[in-house]
A = this chain, B = another copy of it.
């Protein structure tokens, strides 16, 4: 498990301001290219969207894609005036074979 996760570090999709379906398509594309795992990374308000992407992919497109891991974290954002914290999420999707 850990080994396959290391191998697939290039399969990271950063969730931002685009519509959910763009990211859903990106996940499907990676899996169809043969990726065993796809990693979604989001922070701040995009965290909700990363869950939307996960649920949409699994319910509507790739029923055999399981959630291998969900990890939360905190990143510091430095602006001119102050340092603020932003929450992050990393969702690892893997084929259940």
The chain A residues found within 8 Å of chain B, CB to CB, are 44-48, 51-52, 54-55, 59, 67, 70, 72-74, 85, 87-89, 91
Q: Which of B44, B70, B74 contacts A59 (CB 8 A)?
A: B74
- Give Cα A47–Cα B54 distance, bound, in whole angstroms: 13
In the bound complex, residues from chain B placing their C-beta under 8 Å from that of A59 are 74, 85
Chain B residues lying within 8 Å of A45, measured Cβ to Cβ, are 45, 48
Q: How far is the CA of A85 from the CA of B47 in the complex (A)?
A: 17
Residues of B within 8 A of A54 (CB): 72, 87
Q: How far, in Å, is A11 (CB) from chain B's closest CB?
A: 19
- In the complex, what residues of B have CB within 8 A of residue A52's CB? 87
